[in-house]
Chains A and B, each alone.
Chain A
């Protein structure tokens, strides 16, 4: 099992550019989560999906952020346009069916917006 795969590991971009982060969950998992980690705000839940359907996107900061899950094996988080305050580590996590299952995290994408 390769675990949750995120790409890229690092992304440096200029303010105003579009950024797309990618995630491949573990096969058979039906929950997928996007989190953002910063020193100031800790680990924030942005959005989560169940069976490819967004369940709760109340943590998405603003309209510049969007997330999709077109199929069970792929999800994207897009920021357009990016701003310096978006700089953070973005984690994707997946879990097996049922709320009793633990989350499995990818190694994250470190985003720097200059």
Chain B
């Protein structure tokens, strides 16, 4: 069975500082990994994905994520946080049959 862990319920950073939202995963075979963002009263929106190739993937709104196979991690990063980045972030893993499992989510708060 596949699973995703987001060890931090909440991450707080100051505007302009770098941010990291952590994610580890467990899946049989090669992982398909995704990050999504959710704003209040909205559905989740896709940010970026790792399928294969370069371990550093770039996505929307200046976000990037680093895949580390040995640590089974896929941490979300941004060099300089904005107040508008404040939202709920979900990491997800998808298996070869298409089943998509999400972590518990991490609330990111960026303070001015």
Contacts and interface: CB of A to CB of B under 8 A. Distances in A.
A and B part of one assembly:
yes
Interface of A: 4, 31, 33, 35, 42-43, 45, 48, 50, 55-56, 91, 93, 95, 98-100, 102-108
A84 B78 CA distance: 40
A88 to B, nearest CB: 14
Contact of B32 (A4, A91, A100, A107): A100
A104 B101 CA distance: 14
B105 A45 contact: no
B51 interface: yes
B43 A43 contact: no
B14 interface: no
A99 B43 contact: no
Which of the four size classes fits the interface of chain B?
A: 20 to 34
Given A45-B99, A55-B97, A93-B43, 16 more contacts: A42-B102, A43-B90, A43-B104, A45-B100, A93-B44, A95-B100, A99-B97, A100-B49, A100-B94, A102-B36, A102-B49, A103-B36, A103-B46, A103-B100, A105-B43, A106-B43
B101 to A, nearest CB: 7
Chain A contact residues: over half helix, strand or loop, or mixed? strand
Given A56-B99, A99-B97, A91 B49 contact: no
Nearest to B41: A107
Contacts of A35: 102
Contact of B43 (A42, A48, A102, A108): A108
B98 A104 contact: no
Contacts of B25: none
A31 B99 CA distance: 9
